[in-house]
Structure 1
Amino acid sequence: MDAITPAILLLNLPPSALGGMDLLSFTTTPKFQGIKNIPPGLHFVFVGSTSTLSVRHGVWIKVNAPSSGPPDFFIRKWDTNSEELLPETDTTTLLQQRANLGRIWRDNLTPYRQSASQDSVATEETNRWAQLTDCISESLLARVLDTDAEDWTLTSSSSAKQDFNDIPGLSASDLTGNERELRVLPVDLKQTWREGATGRERTEAAQDRSWALADLTARFCNNDMNQIIGELQFCFVMVLTLNNYSCLEQWRRILDLILTCVNAVTTQPSFFLRTLATIKLQLQHGQDVETGLFDLSDDGATFLKSLLLRFKKSLERLPGDAHADVIDELDDLLAYTQETLGWQIQQGSFARTGMLSLEDGEEVEMDNTTFDEDDEAGEYAPTIVELSAEQMKLLGIDESVQQVMNGNKTPNLRDRLQKDQADAGRDGYQYEVQSDEESEKEVQAFDDDEEEELDLEDMDARY
């Protein structure tokens, strides 16, 4: 018998079930009881009751590097009632399996790398898995899965709280039983500024989310930005293996946060280099998702295309060359999407209008509003909002400003000047007498200056 190596035993699997480990998946046979020769590192084992679209259950395991001690040996069993993988805790069963380990090892365990003829391919897949998960750590799994290493399990239906009502076909009440809540990073794209920020500070933080990225890293990742990439990787491989919808949503949120940062690119260029390399590697495997959750066609990848285009525009506006390597990495990623995936992502290449052919043969002209946000057009165009007196008071805008914003500018300013003159006259001050024409010019000049200042204040208030 070959030397015993790290292995996982999977007991009581249904016939023709779906089995998989990392990037490998297969249909099980009656003889199959597990996988041996598992290389060191973090691995993900998953099972579905059928090879079609059933709910999948998986478990993360940590295989230690070879040492003088016995190799790692994991035992899991399939519970037919709950249809999930559970740790084997029955002492009698554990003793029986260990007593029969020689026979099981020889006849019932499939090697992680299938054969010598396929060794180069298997080695490449092993390396790919290591690259796809190189930032996933034990501490990250403990945080996201909210448990220790003995129970790093999740399913296709496991969800973050913010996605409970968004999973197709499921509601929050369906997910409150035995399903595990995923404790992913609380990425809130609707508030990317500090508590108490107002005006221009909020506007800038909404356009450049560098503060939100730094805050998230400090509060939840111990200032380790690799954990941000690690969660991006975790979410991707959970979509790849389990078709987990909530992980897809979190993957999109993290990308939306990272690729809308500007100033952070100059202070953390290595983080963005690694992120872009991770995105490219993930796109190379995105077409492996069986359910089409990752639509990487030119039409289906609008979300990511728009993010990359805006990110490129932001980098081009940055002064200096501290981010030059990031631009090179981004150009390499864009070249891959064009040459391999067929994306049209160059600036100015998106059609704003076009003809749509209907089923009856009629053609109608349609407007493409996908990139209105980039151009501040359509629903994203700036608007002037008329505030109520109560809202004015809450924002600290006095009555005179309110009248100016409502269009009653000159009469109100004249009243203020006359009142100031009257008050000053009572205090013993004398005013030089001017003609009506000179007074009108002075009031108009004052009016124009104040209107310009109020426009800036109004802009800050609206944001």
Structure 2
Amino acid sequence: MASSSSVDMDPDVARRLFEEGATLVLLGVPQGTEFGIDCMSWKVGPRFRGVKMIPPGLHFLNYCSVNPPSCGGEVGPKTGLFLSLKSRDILLANWNAKEEDLDFSASHNEEEVNRVRTNLKELDPYLGPYPYAVMRKWVSLTDRLSEKVANNLQPLCGRVRAYSDVIPETEFRHTKDRAEQPRNDTACQTMREGLDKLPKMKHREGTQLRFSVIPEKTYPSGATPAQITQCSLDFTYALETVLDQNHQQNPLDLLGELQFAFVCFLIGNVYEGFEHWKRLLSLLCRAEAAMQKRKDLYLGLIAVLYHQLGEIPPDFFVDIVSQNNFLTSTLQDFFQLASGPGMDGALRKRAEKFKAHLTKKFSWDFDPDLEECEPVVVDLPEGFTVD
């Protein structure tokens, strides 16, 4: 693990960080393992024993097991976990070769922790320094994400995994159970037919991310046709439902959830995080009444998006988002609403600056196509009239 982040650091600053920062002692991590904390990752060398000088706060530890070169050197899927560390904390973990995961149970052994603390200076040459060069980036991506929100969203098993840990909905313990399932010995005529023959799967209990549930219907039960139309144009009802059910005490925690989802995708390689990020963003950007009511939430949203979009290369959107032109169409709606009547002046100005920034950075055009807004002329069949 490289230690370039400590180059040119003042010795007194380095000493204070060593004494006051938190320490992760990670024993037995195989050489070649891809290991990262926050926005930086490395390949583990033979002397690696952990990370020192970690600033207090929330961090995202992540790692991938790697087969030795003799076995092909394939890299496994990424595993991550959010950790909240305090000044002078020492966290111990041992590598579990069978599970290819870190076991933190040693951190609960006070005697073992005290022994490591006593010998910390002897362990120092084997500890890589926290990458302070990218600390500003990490803080900008998680400044709205509290320890409480991260703990509520992280799977109960404590691991954020790049792959879905799924099991069959039915166990099929008996031959009779298996015999009653659709057979796969005949050719399928359609993709749907093939999917229907596969066993129904579900997440293994405790492994799924616990994101807020976004209502499938954007309108309340028993809504009139006029209300359904209104709620389909203005997503405020659906947004307020999410806030009431998940972030009632602090609505701004929804921005923390947006950041959690983005970090899971950007660093943890969790595609589910990207999908939830898109759904939350669509909800926020199309809630006109909420935009008028919750100025602080939307000023915060612009700041969050500014830093998130700054971390993704422009061609990323060409490859993924622009399949349905998701981001540009969503932000186009947001900018149009933010410039409308009844909006706070500070929010309107901030949105205009953000729009100009994105237009310059990505060459995106957020101005609506006027031709698409023109009325459509329909030729009626002979004999039909419109009163």
Inter-partner Cα distance in structure 1 for 2:283 and 2:155:
24
Is the contact made by 1:287 and 1:295 (CA closer than 8 Å) also made in structure 2? no
Deviation at 1:265, TM superposition (A): 1.2
**SS of residue in 2 equivalent to 1:340:** helix
Residue 35 of structure 1: aligned partner: 51
Conserved 8 A contact 1:296-1:341: no
Q: 1:55 matched to which residue of 2? A: 77
Instruction: Read off the aligned partner of 1:155 and give its amino acid letter.
Output: R
Question: What value does the CA root-mean-square deviation take over the aligned residues?
Answer: 3.6
Deviates more, 1:19-28 or 1:52-61: 52-61
Structure 2 residue 100 is the aligned partner of structure 1 residue 83: yes
**8 Å Cα contact 1:41/1:62 also seen in 2:** yes
What does residue 302 of structure 1 align with?
Answer: 325
1:19-49, Cα deviation, whole Å (9 max, x unpaired): 1111111111111111111111111111111
TM value normalised by structure 1: 0.62
Q: 1:217-265: CA deviations, max 9, x gaps?
A: 1121124211211110001111111110111110000001001110111
**Secondary structure, counterpart of 1:82 in structure 2:** coil
1:188-227 aligned at under 5 Å gives the runs: 188=215, 190-227=216-253
Aligned to 2:365: 344
Shift of 1:131: 2.2
**Structure with max Cα Rg:** 1
1:110 equivalent to 2:128? Answer yes
Structure 2 match to 1:131: 140
- How big is each residue's C-alpha offset from its partner over 1:291-336, in whole Å with a ceiling of 9 and x where there is no partner? x8765799568211001112222334x323x422222222222222
DSSP-derived class of the 1:37 partner: strand
Specify whether residues 85 and 158 from structure 1 end up closer, same or farther in structure 2 by C-alpha distance, changes over 3 A only: farther
Letter in 1 for 2:81: V
1:143, distance to aligned residue in structure 2 (A):
1.9
Query: Letter of the aligned partner of 2:208 in structure 1?
Result: E
SS at match of 1:225: coil
Q: Which runs of 5+ in 1 are unaligned?
A: 114-118, 162-170, 353-371, 382-406, 408-447, 453-463
Task: Work out the CA distance in 2 between the residues paired with 1:21 and 1:275.
Answer: 25
- In 2, Cα distance between the equivalents of 1:97 and 1:300? 55
The correspondence for 2:346, drawn from 325, 329, 349, is 325
Once the two structures are superposed, what CA deviation does each residue of 1:414-452 show, in whole Å capped at 9, x if it has no partner?
xxxxxxxxxxxxxxxxxxxxxxxxxxxxxxxxxx9xx99
Instruction: Report whether the alignment pairs 1:279 with 2:305.
Output: yes
Partner-residue secondary structure (3-state), 1:60:
strand
**C-alpha spacing 1:262/1:17, structure 2 compared with 1 (3 Å):** same
Distance 1:338 1:256, change over 3 A: same
Give, in whole Å, the separation in 2 of the partners of 1:159 and 1:343. 38
Q: Give the CA deviation at 1:194.
A: 1.6
Tell me if the contact between 1:297 and 1:343 (Cα under 8 Å) persists in the aligned partners: no
TM-score (norm 2): 0.74
For 1:155 and 1:135, the matched residues in 2 are separated by 22
Superposed counterparts of 1:5-404, under 5 Å: 5-50=21-66, 54-64=76-86, 66=87, 71-89=88-106, 94=112, 98=116, 101-102=119-120, 105-113=123-131, 122=133, 125-145=134-154, 147=156, 152-158=158-164, 176-177=203-204, 180-188=207-215, 190-287=216-313, 295=318, 299=322, 302-316=325-339, 318-320=340-342, 322-348=343-369
- Once residues 183 and 24 of structure 1 are traced to their aligned partners in structure 2, the CA distance between those partners, rounded to angstroms, is 26
Structure with the bigger RCO (C-alpha within 8 Å, sep 6+) is 2
CA contact (8 A) 2:59 2:84 kept: yes
Say whether the 8 Å CA contact 2:24–2:51 is kept in structure 1: yes
Following the alignment from structure 1 to structure 2, what is the Cα–Cα distance between the partners of residues 139 and 375?
49
**What is the aligned length?**
328
In structure 2, what is the Cα distance between the partners aligned to 1:172 and 1:137? 39
Q: Is the 8 A contact 1:58 1:85 kept in 2?
A: no
Any idea what SS the aligned residue of 2:278 has?
helix
CA deviation after TM superposition for structure 1 residue 181, in Å:
1.0
The answer to whether the 8 A contact 2:90-2:117 is kept is: no
Contact kept in structure 1, 2:160 and 2:264, CA below 8 Å? no
Judge conservation of contact 2:21–2:56 (CA < 8 Å) in 1. no
What residue identity is the alignment partner of 1:45? L
Contact 2:166–2:202 (CA under 8 A) maintained in structure 1: no
Contact 2:162/2:271 (CA < 8 Å) preserved in 1?
A: yes
Do the aligned partners of residues 179 and 143 (structure 1) sit closer, same or farther apart at CA in structure 2, a change above 3 Å counting?
Answer: closer
Q: 1:193·1:211 contact (CA, 8 Å) conserved in 2? A: yes
Q: Percent identity?
A: 23
